[in-house]
């Protein structure tokens, strides 16, 4: 309920929000942590709406973060921008829509709350401002191909469910995307801060951010997609696609006798190799490959995750060296780590090759290889299914897992070149996917467009707007439907 005598317009709410955020940032009033209780006592009488009502709105749209357990509120970068007088075109219309029941319409407020605002009088790009829909996204669409922010994902969009597992980085939950009504995975990165005491917290957060962004920038059908990420709270939170097929570890465990079919194992190798070649060609080394972070979708296709995690827990070069053995926090399982990683912490493309070679052996034989272990072809079923090609699989495994890095394949492209010709020729069957590794068509010619045509177009949303990178054409097979 409004308690002020002046008309309660969207502009008034905007002014009060700026005042509230600016006050919350005052260290002389609150210190390093702002108590919700103290802030409410100080600010309630100065606001037209309830302090709690404002906080609910600001948290919903990521202007502040509220820690209920500690009873604190923190102003996020988006809120700091508003407090410092920065422009935020979406704030006014969101306020008008959120408090529509009590807001008095005004010239500015009515336009902000409407479905489409009038174009600005001043020269500049034509802009549509669409009020928040039921899903809660406020969208700004530029009519010119200039970079603009398009929407803002709600903090409360994802509903956390049951725990799926815990690792050295944190806890993994099953979650629900409330807007799209689908399952996702939510990973809360908290444990790493307790286990890695030799790296300052801010530096550790920076490393986590770099690791997350290295995966988010990759675009490949066999790499798990990052949907959203937040570094606002004390524990960074990631939202990832749901991998309904489980991990390679789980799939090997449920296979009859612990042995995955040979054809399925080799298809998984092809998909891992294609995904990692894509990552390596873009300068991203995984560094901590193991069966737990090789995931599968509902159809049994590989989805690799946790890129870049290997560097999160690295000890700084300037830190004091001790005689204590290294602790591989977040850096994979030593069984899959190349010798150079174990002995000197060196992580390269060839380290990833080594890890995948170990997983290949485990998929084919059900065991980890040792110094005197036989080659994979010693398994009768491998020779029975592959015939002469079994020797080629032996050679590929050997060249992926040699101790000196220089004796291994130089890239996963070489692995694919060696493996594909050796596999038996099979017809494309129902349930098999074929995926191009690179676009086989040349890039489209850039069309000549008049100024009039550009002005009347729909912003290019229904046109090809740029060249498609092409490095050649080849096909990689997908996976048969999951046997589990």
pLDDT digits (tens, 9 = 90+) for 23-66: 999 988 888 889 988 899 899 888 988 898 899 899 888 899 88
Q: What is the pLDDT of residue 328?
A: 42
Give the per-residue pLDDT at 218. 94
Number of Cα atoms under 13 Å in the Cβ half of residue 475: 7
- Please report which residue ranges of 99-200 form alpha helices under DSSP H: 107-113, 191-195
Taking phi over 0 as left and psi of -120 to 50 as alpha, with beta for the rest, 398 belongs to alpha
Residue 170 reports pLDDT greater than 60 = yes
Dihedral pair phi/psi, residue 316, rounded to 5°: -55, 145
For residue 209 the two structure tokens come to 């951010």
CA distances from 378 to 38, 138, 140, 266, 371 (A): 72, 61, 62, 16, 15
Contact 127, 87 (CB under 8 A): no
- pLDDT per position as a tens digit, 414-437: 999 999 888 776 655 666 667 776
Whether 372 shows a pLDDT value over 80: the answer reads: yes
- pLDDT range class, residue 387, cuts 50, 70, 90: confident
Top pLDDT among 87 and 362 is at 362
* pLDDT for 45: 87
DSSP state of 373: P
Between CA 314 and CA 414 the distance in angstroms is 30
Calculated CA dihedral for residues 447, 449, 454, 457, nearest 10 degrees: -50
Higher pLDDT, 182 or 464: 182
Interatomic CA distance for residues 2 and 374, integer angstroms: 79
At residue 297, the pLDDT reads 92
For residues 4 and 46, the answer to whether their CB atoms sit within 8 Å is no
What's the predicted TM-score (pTM) here? Answer: 0.62
User: Which pLDDT band, with edges at 50, 70 and 90, does 318 fall under?
Assistant: low
Structure tokens that stand for 205 in this block: 């957060």
Q: Is 238 exposed, middle or buried (0-12, 13-18, 19+ CB in 10 A)?
A: buried
Q: How far apart are CA 474 and CA 125, in angstroms?
A: 42
**Helical H runs in 68-166?**
77-83, 91-98, 107-113
Q: Hey, how many other C-beta atoms are within 10 angstroms of the C-beta on 393?
A: 26
- How far, in whole angstroms, is CA 383 from its chain's centroid? 40
What's the token pair of residue 420? Answer: 């594909």
What residues contact residue 452 under an 8 Å CB cut-off, 6+ apart? none
Question: Average of pLDDT values for 253-273?
Answer: 90
Q: What pLDDT was estimated at residue 428? A: 58
DSSP 309-370: GGGTTPPPTTSPP-SSPP--TTS--GGGS-HHHHHH----HHHHHHHHHHHHHHHHHSS---
Residue 422: DSSP 8-state: G
Task: List the one residue out of 150, 152, 385, 106 whose CA is nearest residue 261.
Answer: 385
pLDDT at site 2: 42
- CA 143 – CA 373 distance, rounded (Å): 64
What element of type H or E holds 276?
Answer: helix 262-281
Size of the chain in residues: 484
Q: What percent of the chain has pLDDT over 70?
A: 73
* Continuous segment of H or E residues that includes residue 302: strand 302-304
Angstrom distance (rounded) from CA 192 to CA 185: 19
Domains, in order of start, for the chain: 10-117+127-142 (no CATH), 157-241 (3.30.200.20), 246-317+326-422 (1.10.510.10)
Q: What is the mean pLDDT of residues 221-240?
A: 88
The pair of structure tokens assigned to 276 is: 């990692």
From the DSSP assignment, how many helices (H) and strands (E) are in the chain?
A: 17, 15
């Amino acid at each position: 309920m409004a308690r002020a005598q002046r008309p309660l317009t969207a502009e008034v709410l905007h002014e009060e929000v700026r005042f509230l955020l600016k006050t919350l940032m005052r260290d002389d009033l609150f210190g390093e942590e702002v108590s919700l209780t103290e802030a409410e006592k100080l600010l309630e009488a100065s606001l037209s709406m309830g302090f709690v009502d404002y906080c609910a709105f600001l948290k919903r749209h990521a202007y502040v973060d509220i820690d209920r357990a500690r009873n604190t509120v923190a102003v996020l970068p988006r809120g700091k921008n508003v407090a410092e007088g920065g422009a935020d075109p979406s704030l006014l219309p969101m306020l008008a829509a959120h408090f529509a029941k009590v807001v008095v319409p005004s010239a500015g407020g009515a336009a902000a709350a409407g479905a489409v605002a009038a174009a600005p009088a001043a020269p500049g790009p034509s802009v549509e401002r669409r009020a928040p829909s039921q899903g809660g996204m406020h969208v700004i669409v530029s009519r010119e191909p200039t970079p603009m922010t398009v929407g803002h994902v709600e903090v409360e969009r994802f509903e956390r469910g049951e725990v799926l597992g815990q690792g050295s980085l944190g806890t993994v939950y099953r979650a629900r995307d409330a807007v799209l009504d689908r399952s996702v995975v939510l990973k809360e990165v908290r444990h790493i801060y307790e286990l890695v005491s030799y790296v300052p917290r801010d530096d550790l957060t920076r490393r986590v951010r770099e690791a997350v962004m290295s995966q988010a920038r990759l675009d490949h059908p066999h790499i798990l997609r990052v949907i959203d990420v937040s570094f606002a709270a004390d524990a960074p939170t990631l939202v990832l696609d749901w991998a309904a097929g489980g991990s390679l570890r789980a799939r090997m465990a449920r296979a009859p006798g612990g042995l995955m079919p040979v054809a399925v194992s080799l298809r998984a190798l092809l998909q891992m190799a294609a995904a990692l070649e894509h990552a390596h060609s873009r300068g991203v080394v995984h560094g901590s490959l193991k069966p737990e972070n090789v995931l599968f979708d509902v159809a049994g296709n590989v989805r690799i995750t946790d890129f870049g995690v290997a560097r999160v827990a690295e000890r700084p070069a300037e830190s004091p060296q001790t005689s204590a053995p290294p602790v591989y926090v977040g850096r994979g399982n030593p069984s899959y780590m190349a010798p150079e990683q174990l002995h000197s912490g060196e992580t390269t493309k060839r380290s990833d090759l080594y890890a995948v070679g170990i997983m290949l052996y485990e998929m084919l034989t059900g065991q980890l290889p040792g110094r005197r272990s036989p080659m994979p072809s010693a398994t009768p079923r491998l020779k029975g299914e592959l015939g002469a090609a079994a020797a080629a699989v032996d050679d590929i495994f050997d060249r992926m897992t040699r101790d000196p890095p220089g004796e291994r394949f130089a890239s996963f492209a070489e692995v694919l070149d060696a493996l594909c010709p050796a596999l038996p020729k099979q017809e494309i069957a129902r349930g098999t996917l074929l995926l191009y590794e690179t676009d086989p068509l040349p890039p489209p010619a850039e069309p000549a467009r008049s100024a009039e045509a550009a002005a009347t177009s729909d912003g290019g949303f229904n046109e090809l707007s740029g060249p498609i990178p092409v490095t050649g054409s080849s096909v990689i097979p997908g996976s048969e439907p999951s046997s589990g």
